[in-house]
Amino acid sequence: MSSIYIYWDESHFWGLLLIRALRAWGVPHRLVRAKAISQGALDRKPAALMVPGGYARGKAARLGPEGMDAIRRYVDEGGTYIGFCGGAGLALSESKGLGLSPWKRRRFEKRLQHFLSGHMHVRLADHPLIPKELGGEALIPVWWPGQFDDSAPGPEPLAVFDTPGPDVWMADMHLKSLPEGTVGDWENLYGISLRPDFIKGRPGIAANEYGQGRVILSYAHLETPASPQANYWLGSMLADILGIEPNRAPLPAWDLAARPVRWHHPVLEQAAQAMDEIIETGNRHFLLFWRTPWLLGWRRGIPGSGINALYALIHEIMASEPNAEAEQYLLENGGRTGELVDLFRKGVTGYLLAERLGMTVLHSGPDAIAPETLRNQRNALFGKPPAPGGLYEELLRLLEDLYFLLSRGISDTP
C-alpha cells in the first residue's frame, strides 16, 4: 500500500493532530519536509500529500519556488492534495499560495470573527467523497478557521456552514453558557455581535481538479479527536484515496497529561515541568484553562495556542521510543534546549502575571500598565502573530526537529 506524506514544516500542534489520526487508523504515512519536497520526494508518487493546519505563509516560505513547483507538478500529474485550515490556505490563489484552487481567502470584516472555534452544523453535498451514511448534514469542528472567497468558479463545495453546535466559542466566550437573550441584548446595547452568523452559508470544505489530480481543502478539522461524524468522513475519504476498506471508528480521546513516558531524559522532563508550571500559573490567575484534555482555552490576547503547541510536542516526544538519531540530536542540542526552557518559563510566568495585574488595575488605574508594554513583552516571547517568533520560535523549532527524527521522516531524497 502506498504511503501518505504529511508536510511537517510549520504545522506545530496541528501536525500532531493529523499524525495521531493516521496512526489510530493504521494508515501508512511518512513526514516530509520542504527540503525533501524541493529535491523530488514527491516523485515517489505518494497516495496523497496531506498538509495540516498551521501558518500558511510560513509553509510557503519553507518550500520556496522549487518546493511549490514540485507540489504543483505532483498534483498536475495525478496526485491528491488534502489541506486542513492552514494547509487549505496554502493551496489557494494568493500571492504566496500554490494556486491549486482558483479561490482566494476571504478577508474578515471584523477581527473577532477569526476567533470562532468548536463544532458547527454543516449541510453536505451529494458527492462521491461524502459517505451516504452521513445523510445531508453533519456536526464538524472548526478551530479558528479562515474562510474561502468562493467568487471564482471551479471548486465544488462539499460542506456549507449552517448553525453553531453546543460547544462553539467566540474568542474566550462559550456562547451556549450565556443566558438566553444575552447576545441580543449586547447587540442592542453595545453594537457588538458574537453570533457566528457571518459564516452561515459559506463553504467549509471544497474540492476541485487540478490537471490530472484532485484537491480537497477543508477549513474544518476532520481529524479532531472523538468527533464521530468528522472522523467518519475523514476515514471514508482516506479509504477512497488508498483503495482500502474504510476505518470509520471515531478517533480516541487525546489526554496529553496521561500520555505514557517512554523517553526519560532530564531536558525533556525539565521542559514538561516548565510547561506544567506555566499552565498552572495561567489557570490559577484565570488566564488559561483546559477546554478538553488536549486543547487549552485562554483569555482573549493570551498566547494560549503557542503554549498548547509546546505542551503537546513535549508530551508526544516523551511518549515516543527514542532512536539513535533523536538521541544524538538531543545530545548536541540539549544544552541550548535546557537554557531556552528556563528562559521561557521565567519569561512567560512574568508575562502572565503582568497580564493579570493589568486586568486587576484596569478600572482603578488604567495607566498603570500600558497595553503596548504587555504587547511588547508578549511579542518578545512569542513573536508578532500569526508568525512564531522570539524564544517560542527557537524552542518550537528544536522540538519539531526532534519529533521529526523520532518519526523517521523524509528530510532529503536518496
Helix (H), strand (E), coil (C) string for 42-102: HHHCCCEEEECCCCHHHHHHHHHHHHHHHHHHHHHCCCEEEEECHHHHHHCCCCCCCCCCC
Write phi, then psi, for 314 (nearest 5 degrees).
-60, -45
pLDDT over 50 (residue 105): yes
Task: Specify the pLDDT at position 414.
Answer: 46
Task: Specify the pLDDT at position 219.
Answer: 97
pLDDT over 90 (residue 24): yes
Q: Which set of grid coordinates corresponds to residue 322?
A: 527514542
Long-range contacts of 388-394 (CB under 8 A, 24+ apart): 388/12, 388/55, 388/58, 388/306, 391/340, 391/343, 391/344, 391/347, 392/303, 392/306, 392/310, 392/344, 394/340
d(CA 335, CA 274): 16
Please tell me what DSSP assigns to residue 369. S
pLDDT over 80 (residue 313): yes
In whole angstroms, how far apart are CA 311 and each of 191, 294, 305, 317?
A: 38, 9, 10, 10
Lowest mean pLDDT among 197-201, 291-295, 316-320: 197-201
Half-sphere exposure of 330 (CA within 13 A, CB side): 24
Pairing of strands 4-7, 48-51: parallel
| Amino acid identity at 413 | T
- For the entire predicted model, the pTM comes to 0.95
Say if CB 3 and CB 44 are below 8 A apart: no
Helix (H, G, I), strand (E, B) or coil at 195: coil
Pairing of strands 29-32, 4-7: parallel
d(CA 209, CA 190): 46
Kindly tell me the sign of the dihedral angle through the C-alpha atoms of 106, 108, 114, 116: negative
Kindly tell me the sign of the dihedral angle through the C-alpha atoms of 314, 318, 320, 325: positive
d(CA 385, CA 114): 13
Say if CB 106 and CB 149 are below 8 A apart: yes
| CATH of the domain spanning 4-241, picked from 3.30.70.20, 3.40.50.880, 3.40.50.1000, 3.30.470.20 | 3.40.50.880
Q: Give the residue with greater pLDDT, 50 vs 181.
A: 50
Task: Specify the pLDDT at position 363.
Answer: 74
pLDDT in tens, 227-276: 999 999 999 999 988 888 878 889 999 999 999 999 999 999 999 999 99
